[in-house]
Structure 1
Amino acid sequence: MLGFLTARQAGLDDPLRLRRAESTRRVLSLSLNPDRDVDRIHGNGINTIDIDVIEGRYMLSGGADGVIVVYDLENYSGKPQYTCKAVCTVGRSSKYVHKFSVETVQWYPYDTGMFVSSSFDKTMKVWDTETLKPAEVFEFEGNVYSHHLSPIARKHSLIAVGTKNPKIQLCDLKSGSKIHVLQGHRAEVLSVRWSPRYEHILATASADSKVKVWDVRRASGSLLTLDQHSGDKSKASSEAVNTAHNGRVNGLCFTGDGLYLLTTGTDDRMRLWNSATGENTLVNYGKVCNESRKRLQFTVSRGCSPEFVFVPCGSSIAVYALHTGELVTMLRGHYSNVDCCEFHPDYQEMYSGGKDCNILAWVPVLRSLEVEEKSDSENTAVADAGQSSGNPAFQDAWSSDED
């Protein structure tokens, strides 16, 4: 790493190259941090977490007990050892609390003064963070599995909602009403995600084994229905019905640039798709254990080269290289199944929640300059080994980067 600093100081390298290399090094060194705890508030499993993108300081969590918690991730003590405190809680004593399991929580992308939660009590609530009271409540006919607000939208304020009903609901924050329905799925919609690249593009995943991509400005149905055989020329292109997985599709995640879409299913597979063409890139991640019957929250790194995918896998979190499918490492620390994980791009940290009622902080292991200096030759050897073995994680982190 000292070599990168010297090259940047001398003007031989683009600053972006140093940033990517350091981000990659930090992600590759993620481990459970014994000095950082997160207040244990939930009395039941944690289904969903979200970190605000404005300050990168506050984290939401929602549990199977219906409770919602807001945490402050900032360290005020000045000491390495500290606990991320719960700032406020919508607990069982609140008359506004969800009656059943909270499945999704999300900060309003432009302001931490508001967040949205959805639940198996068939409601989605828009909360005022100051008062911890719902400013708006949307009611549905069935359990709500997932909702999502666009992270980039300027021309609309729509929340996409996936419920037990196969129809996707679009709710407008401005009018406080359901304004549109997207029809095409034949079973419950388990996950919905807006594109981080185009504000009108929405991806939806269902228990009918299908993933559809929509342009919500069009009234004529979905743009694409992803086909797992579309990238495999050995398979007949006219094969019956297009399916993304051979089971329930319960996880969706766009890459940070919106160029690719990742999906997970109960067939224990994860697939990477070209989000523009819908083509299956045929990256083989091997068996990705997935026992969840509802939405699975997984995440992708940002600012690394290459990027990495963090996927709950039983009581562990599997870390894969995005474009090669190589299993980089397994993060172990939970005592029971992991249901959600969220990457913090500001510090290359990761938080995970599971059925053991714990939220764990996974933090890069920082090394001193003395250690860096001593390991320069080792890093060069590792990079050479990565190049010869085709390991992209080390190849791009420590060797030359043409970006």
Structure 2
Amino acid sequence: MLSFLAERCRGTKHSSVLSVAEVTRRTYSLELSKNKDVQRIHMSSVNSLDLDPVDYRYLLSGGGDGVIAIYDVLTKPVVKEFTCPYLCGIGRSNESVHKRSVETVQWYPHDTGMFVSSSMDGKVKVWDTNALIPAEEFVINQAIYSHHISPIATQHCLIAVGSMSSKIKLCDLKTGSSTHILKGHKDAILSVQWSNKEEFLLASGSRDGKILLWDVRHASGCLKTLDRHNGEKRESISSVKTAHNGDVSGLCFTDEGLFLLSFGTDDRLRLWDIASGKNTLVNFGSVVNESGKSVKIACSTTSNPSAAFIPTVNDVDVYDLQNGEMVYDLKGHYHKVNCCVFHPHLQELYSGGNDSNILVWEPDLGRHPDKYEEEVEQQQQTTTNSPRVLAGPNATADAWSSDEDD
């Protein structure tokens, strides 16, 4: 560190090198917080978590008991050990509460005055945060596994909804209509995700093993069907299961929108290049996925290399997205983990599971000082004017395994 500061004073190293190295060190040194936890509100499973994208202060949770809760994760502690307080929510006594399990919750991307929830009761509800009453309600008439609002859209206000139906429904917040549907899957849709880069680009994952990319401006069908063999095995093109040999239960775009990470019940993670639609062939090994519903996975590309956070059985596994290596696993939950969300400013992770707990994972700032120094040096050597690539040619070629799909 002292050598870095000396070189910085001489102008031989850029300040961004230290910033990226520190974020990387924090991201790859998470541990269960000893001083910070989240107030326990849910009496059943915690199925979904979301941080508001405006201030990254308010944590939203949805549970198997139908309850929705809001917490303040930036509360200034008056003592060393403190609990992130429950601020408000929709409890069982609220007449508008969901009648069955809440599967997905999400803040409106531009304002914390509104959030959206979807449930197994077949309803999508748009909530006024201040009044805690529904401002709008969409009845899907099918058990809903996931929904998503585009984080960047300025020309539309569509909520994509994945349900037991094989059709994706698009609910328009402007008109209150849910008549627009996307046809292409053969079975229930477990996960939907809008791109972080293209506001009309939508990805969907289904129990039919497919991942489809859609341009919602076109009604003629999907743009691409992602193929794990990249077209090299002709029989896979006509096969139903083209992306995963099992259900596709988790999808997550990387922060810059160039790559899509998918998680299947074939115990595989796959990283897809969105521009080409190809599987990058990064080998993550076997990643256990026993979920019959949607799994909320998370990515962080502010570190170098980028990181993926994957709920797997009772743990959250942390993976290097460049070479597919599992760096470490986070143990703390007593039962299955369903969801996680990463705080990009604090480099903290929040996870929820069937044990009704929301756990906080924070950086261990005293871990791996030697490795940290190495990271700073590596950042200096690799920093160029060209954009950073998540999975380069070496990761694609060298990490490929012939038994990946067996």
Work out the CA distance in 1 between the residues paired with 2:5 and 2:185: 52
* Conserved 8 A contact 1:302-1:345: no
Q: Which residue of 2 aligns with 1:86?
A: 86
Per-residue displacement from partner, 1:123-171 (whole Å, max 9, x unpaired)? 0000000010000010012101110000000111111111111110111
Alpha-carbon RMSD across the aligned residues, in angstroms, is: 1.8
Gap change, CA 1:379 and 1:150, over 3 Å in 2: closer
* Conserved 8 A contact 1:228-1:280: yes
Q: Which residue of 1 aligns with 2:277?
A: 278
Q: 1:247 and 2:246 equivalent? A: yes
Work out the CA distance in 1 between the residues paired with 2:4 and 2:376: 15
Work out the CA distance in 1 between the residues paired with 2:190 and 2:206: 5
Whichever residue aligns with residue 272 of structure 1, its letter is L
Work out the CA distance in 2 between the residues paired with 1:258 and 1:90: 33
- Percent identity reads 51
* Conserved 8 A contact 1:8-1:18: no
Q: 1:293 and 2:274 equivalent? A: no
Q: Which residue of 2 aligns with 1:388?
A: none
Give SS of 2:85's match. Answer: strand
Whichever residue aligns with residue 402 of structure 1, its letter is T
* Conserved 8 A contact 1:23-1:304: yes
Q: 1:223 and 2:204 equivalent? A: no
Q: 1:330 and 2:367 equivalent? A: no
Work out the CA distance in 1 between the residues paired with 2:356 and 2:190: 22
* Conserved 8 A contact 1:105-1:116: yes
Q: Which residue of 2 aligns with 1:260?
A: 259
* Conserved 8 A contact 1:31-1:331: yes
Q: Which residue of 1 aligns with 2:103?
A: 103
Instruction: Within 5 Å, give how 1:328-367 maps onto structure 2.
Output: 328-367=327-366
Structure 1 alignment gaps of length 5 or more: 384-393
Moved more, 128-137 or 13-22: 13-22
Q: 1:400 and 2:381 equivalent? A: yes
Instruction: Within 5 Å, give how 1:3-402 maps onto structure 2.
Output: 3-230=3-230, 233=232, 235-236=233-234, 239-241=237-239, 243-367=242-366, 375=369, 383=374, 400-402=381-383
Q: Which residue of 1 aligns with 2:394?
A: none
Gap change, CA 1:79 and 1:276, over 3 Å in 2: same
Work out the CA distance in 1 between the residues paired with 2:101 and 2:73: 24
Work out the CA distance in 2 between the residues paired with 1:237 and 1:7: 57
Work out the CA distance in 1 between the residues paired with 2:237 and 2:377: 38
- Tell me by how many angstroms 1:179 deviates: 4.1
| Number of corresponding residues | 383
* Conserved 8 A contact 2:148-2:192: yes
Per-residue displacement from partner, 1:162-211 (whole Å, max 9, x unpaired)? 11111101111111111411100011110000000000000000011000
Structure 2 alignment gaps of length 5 or more: 385-406
- Tell me by how many angstroms 1:237 deviates: 6.9
* Conserved 8 A contact 1:207-1:249: yes
Work out the CA distance in 2 between the residues paired with 1:42 and 1:180: 34
- Tell me by how many angstroms 1:236 deviates: 3.5
Q: Which residue of 1 aligns with 2:391?
A: none
- Tell me by how many angstroms 1:2 deviates: 4.0
Work out the CA distance in 2 between the residues paired with 1:285 and 1:243: 18
Whichever residue aligns with residue 131 of structure 2, its letter is T
Whichever residue aligns with residue 383 of structure 2, its letter is E
Per-residue displacement from partner, 1:14-46 (whole Å, max 9, x unpaired)? 222221111000011110011001000000010
* Conserved 8 A contact 2:298-2:342: yes
List, as ranges, runs of 4+ consecutive aligned residues in structure 1 with deviation greater than 4 Å: 394-399
- Tell me by how many angstroms 1:9 deviates: 4.0
Whichever residue aligns with residue 227 of structure 1, its letter is D
Work out the CA distance in 2 between the residues paired with 1:71 and 1:290: 29
Work out the CA distance in 1 between the residues paired with 2:286 and 2:175: 44
Give SS of 1:208's match. Answer: coil
Work out the CA distance in 2 between the residues paired with 1:58 and 1:79: 21
Work out the CA distance in 2 between the residues paired with 1:322 and 1:362: 20
Work out the CA distance in 2 between the residues paired with 1:10 and 1:132: 56
Whichever residue aligns with residue 115 of structure 1, its letter is F
TM-score by length of 1: 0.91
- Tell me by how many angstroms 1:89 deviates: 1.9
* Conserved 8 A contact 1:40-1:357: yes
Work out the CA distance in 2 between the residues paired with 1:50 and 1:150: 14
* Conserved 8 A contact 1:350-1:362: yes
Work out the CA distance in 1 between the residues paired with 2:112 and 2:3: 40
Gap change, CA 1:258 and 1:4, over 3 Å in 2: farther
TM-score by length of 2: 0.90
Work out the CA distance in 2 between the residues paired with 1:202 and 1:2: 47
